[in-house]
């Protein structure tokens, strides 16, 4: 298999070296640094990143990006901030059908992750992701290491299995590409926090209290950003959080340690910028109502916004978190992706989501005809992990009574109802969520009728 790795930094070099263990792989590192290319090809070394390490003589390098068209698989091992420029300048050299594997950790912008961006630029290529609890400095010396492969097609999975065969690289797998991408950012924020905790309190008890609560907050954020909760259990989740939070080779943990010892400086060094960039990106894309449920994220945010570097944890507030109940209403006939999205986002606002489901009798009053009966629609909703309880909606006037009866904290509806339920603001918070574009129950019924 002909494998190209974009970037001859620590991680690209270490992974490329490992993949050469499989004799069926021909691995080339691509770099614009002519010194690195010459040194790798003629001395089997890359002293800028591994000064005292000899590389496999099967690993070679090139600065001629036009040769990328000859490769079956291309790994992306450059900083996320450089990816846009790289693909805009070099997409013409990448053949249709090439498998692109993202190793970079981060997001392109608040609207898009790296995998989705590359799919837009290279619509005729398959794009997958590979993330895990792996330090390049150990991978290069043969340490057995694991990654999570986020993929969508079986043949992509088979290709990765083939190239890692017999090497020190292992994988676990998921089809939740979004979750894998998001977790690579979230763990950086909480690694800062755990490092700070270790420096300030020097207590194993307190460390694991904070780590446990960090884990819980990451799950809330993961679900809010469209990932699958179960992805946290893979190496890209639990494993990478543990590695980044608890090992002093981690840059983000080191930043936390410096902050905890009072050595924080709001300067433009790469460690501070990396941590702040992860935090700023998450704060920009996660709704305030979700952030307000996360006491650890809030105190890290305050430490950076105030430029003090002081993370002031209120442990009583952290541990004693009261339940927050969300309420929404709807007909939910022909349950589709738009329904799932609004339910997911509504649930992310609290700990429990109650759904008021229009009864068959009430639908007749409204002039609606449903494909499925109330009981069938109720059964479908109750099967969703987002939904805690389904209650019958029998009339227009029951909402105030329901808010009082179920101690509702936030009432949520789609933004096509904007302003209609503001009268509930005397009893709870009210929010209107944007509908998912391009899909509706009416549209689906029209298609079915046509067929």
Q: Which of 220-224, 233-237, 347-351 has the largest mean confidence?
A: 233-237
Structure tokens at 69: 């068209």
Structure confidence by residue, pLDDT tens digits, 391-409: 999 999 999 999 999 999 9
Q: Residues 211, 204: contact at Cβ < 8 Å? A: no
What values do phi and psi take at 307, rounded to 5?
60, 25
Strand partners, 75: 5, 101
pLDDT in tens, 104-141: 988 877 678 899 999 999 999 999 999 999 999 999 99
Q: CA of 205: how far to CAs of 210, 259, 295, 415, in Å?
A: 9, 20, 19, 45
pLDDT band of residue 3 (cuts 50, 70, 90) is very high
Q: Write phi, then psi, for 422 (nearest 5 degrees).
A: -65, -20
In percent, the amount of the chain with pLDDT more than 90 equals 75
Alpha-carbon distance of 113 to 42, in angstroms, equals 37
Q: For residue 157, what are the CA distances in angstroms to 136, 161, 171, 343?
A: 23, 6, 10, 31
* Cα–Cα distance, 432 to 50 (Å, whole number): 53
CA dist 336 and 350 (Å) reads 22
**Exactly one of 2, 153, 307, 368 is catalytic; which is it?**
368
Choose, from 366, 394, 405, 418, the residue flagged as catalytic. Answer: 366
Tokens of 130: 């590979």
Angle CA 314–315–317, to nearest 5: 70
User: Whole-number mean pLDDT of the chain?
Assistant: 91
- The pLDDT, as a whole number, for residue 447 is 41
Residue 96 has pLDDT above 50, yes or no: yes
Residue 213 falls in the annotated catalytic set: no
Mean pLDDT of 247-266: 89
| pLDDT over threshold 70, residue 269 | no
Predicted confidence (pLDDT) per residue in 29-55, tens digit: 999 999 999 999 999 999 999 999 999
Q: Would the pLDDT of 445 be above 50? A: no
pLDDT score of 330 more than 80:
yes
Check if the beta carbon of residue 68 is closer than 8 Å to that of residue 30: yes
3 state SS of 107: strand
Quote the pLDDT of residue 444. Answer: 41
With beta carbons less than 8 A apart as the criterion, state whether 180 and 35 touch.
no
Beta partners for 413? Answer: 432
Phi and psi at residue 113, to the nearest 5°: -90, 175
CA distance 146 to 168: 9
- pLDDT number for residue 448: 40
Is residue 394 annotated as a catalytic residue, yes or no?
no
Q: Which contacts (CB < 8 Å, 24+ apart) does range 443-451 have?
A: 444/334, 444/336, 445/334, 445/371
Q: Which domains does the chain have, with CATH numbers?
A: 2-175 (3.40.50.720), 179-319 (1.10.1040.10), 325-450 (3.40.50.620)
């Amino acid at each position: 298999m002909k494998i190209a790795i974009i970037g001859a930094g620590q991680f690209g070099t270490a992974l490329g070296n490992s993949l050469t263990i499989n004799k069926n792989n021909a691995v080339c590192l691509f770099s614009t640094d002519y010194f690195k290319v010459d040194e790798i090809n003629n001395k089997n070394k890359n002293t800028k990143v591994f000064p005292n390490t000899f590389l496999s003589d099967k690993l070679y390098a090139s600065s001629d990006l036009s040769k990328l068209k000859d490769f079956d698989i291309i790994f992306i091992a450059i900083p996320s901030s450089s990816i846009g420029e790289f693909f805009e300048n070099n997409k013409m050299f990448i053949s249709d059908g090439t498998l692109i594997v993202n190793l970079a950790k981060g997001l392109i912008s608040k609207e898009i992750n790296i995998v989705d961006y590359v799919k837009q630029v290279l619509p005729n290529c398959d794009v997958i992701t590979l993330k895990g609890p792996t330090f390049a400095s150990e991978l290069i010396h043969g340490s057995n290491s694991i990654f999570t492969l986020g993929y969508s097609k079986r043949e992509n999975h088979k290709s990765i299995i083939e190239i890692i065969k017999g090497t020190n690289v292992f994988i676990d797998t998921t089809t939740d590409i979004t979750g894998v991408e998001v977790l690579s950012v979230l763990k950086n924020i909480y690694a800062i926090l755990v490092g700070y905790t270790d420096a300030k309190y020097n207590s194993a008890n307190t460390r694991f209290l904070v780590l446990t609560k960090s884990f819980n907050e990451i799950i809330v954020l993961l679900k809010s950003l469209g990932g699958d909760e179960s992805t946290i259990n893979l190496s890209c989740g639990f494993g990478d959080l543990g590695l980044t939070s608890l090992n002093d080779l981690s840059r983000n943990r080191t930043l936390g340690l410096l902050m905890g010892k009072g050595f924080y400086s709001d300067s433009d060094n790469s460690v501070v910028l990396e941590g702040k960039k992860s935090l700023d990106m998450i704060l920009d894309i996660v709704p305030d109502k979700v952030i307000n449920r996360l006491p650890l994220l809030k105190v890290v945010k305050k430490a950076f916004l105030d430029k003090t570097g002081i993370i002031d944890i209120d442990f009583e507030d952290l541990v004693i978190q009261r339940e927050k109940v969300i309420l929404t209403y709807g007909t939910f006939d022909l349950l589709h992706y738009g329904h799932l999205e609004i339910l997911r986002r509504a649930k992310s606002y609290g700990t429990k989501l109650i759904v008021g489901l229009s009864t068959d009798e009430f639908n007749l009053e409204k002039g609606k005809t449903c494909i499925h009966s109330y009981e069938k629609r109720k059964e479908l909703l109750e099967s969703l992990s987002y939904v805690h309880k389904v209650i019958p909606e029998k009339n227009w006037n029951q909402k105030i009574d329901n808010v009082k009866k179920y101690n509702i904290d936030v009432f949520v509806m789609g933004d096509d109802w904007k302003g209609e339920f503001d009268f509930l603001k005397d009893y709870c918070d009210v929010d209107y969520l944007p509908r998912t574009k391009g899909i509706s129950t009416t549209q689906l019924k029209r298609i079915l009728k046509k067929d």
